Amino acid sequence: MQAQIKLGTIFGVQLGLHFSWLLIALLVTLSLAGQFSAVNPEWGGGVIWTTAIVTGLLFFVAVILHELTHAVVAKMRGLPVRSITLFALGGVALIEKESGDAATEFWMGIAGPIMSVAIGFLCLLAAAGLGWSPETQIMSPTTPVLAALVWLGYINIVLAIFNMIPGFPLDGGRILRAIIWWITGNVDRATRIAARVGQFVAVFLLSGAFFNSFPEAVLVGFGLRS
């Protein structure tokens, strides 16, 4: 995955964007503007759009930190990392050499989700410190700052959970591969098993999306739902 837009270098790792990320950034911003407008229409257009754009940029930073954590762990374990590229489906760190042991693979895989969970809880704690209450304002923060923090808190936790799905090459798939590698001592076998599990997960998720896209009456008519 080649980056068309260069962002600079952090810890010796080149950061870049693929053009497809711009589409996702636009969609995220539009979605946030719609959500903030629906929940707090009294803010006005300027405040809503400013909050949506700033929140989208902070989410962009959170994704970079997720991927950068993978890269930092890889470098600490002696693996060279050339670049990180953000694209439509997230981000990818270009690591120039495969892990030499299961422990390295495990810590590289789990580092990103740990960072995302940490960011998520820090955002929610900051929101709580500023007066947000999950009991009474879970989906309707009363100020732009709280709205941004709460959304970033939940979305980063969701990002971590999604990445822990055991579908190779998601982080969860790499963690599964590392565990099987550690148990069997055979990296090729671990890779094959993790890849098969990833294929099963992909089919399962696509099947769920397929059936959920049909009207209830159609599924009942085919006997697929009662």
Provide block-wise average pLDDT over 10 residues at a time, the chain (226 residues). Answer: 68 77 85 88 90 92 88 86 73 76 90 95 92 71 87 92 82 90 90 84 65 44 40
Does residue 13 sit in the same domain as residue 87? yes
| Structural domains in the chain (count) | 2
The DSSP-derived string for 201-219 is HHHHHHHHHHHHTS-HHHH
CA distances from 176 to 99, 121, 149, 181, 194 (A): 14, 25, 32, 8, 6
Amino acid identity of residue 5, one-letter, is I
Last residue of a domain, one of 143, 164, 185: 164
Predicted local distance difference test score (pLDDT) of residue 4: 63
Predicted local distance difference test score (pLDDT) of residue 213: 47
User: Does the active-site annotation cover 105?
Assistant: no
Predicted local distance difference test score (pLDDT) of residue 89: 62
Does residue 141 sit in the same domain as residue 198? no
Which residue do the tokens 């600079």 mark?
8
Q: Tokens representing 131? A: 């007066």
CA distances from 64 to 107, 177, 211 (A): 18, 24, 34
Active site residue: 42, 67, 96, 105, which one?
67
Does residue 125 sit in the same domain as residue 80? yes
Whole-angstrom Cα distance, residue 73 to residue 92?
A: 14
Last residue of a domain, one of 122, 148, 164: 164
Q: What's the domain range around 158?
A: 5-164
Does residue 157 sit in the same domain as residue 183? no
Does residue 82 sit in the same domain as residue 148? yes
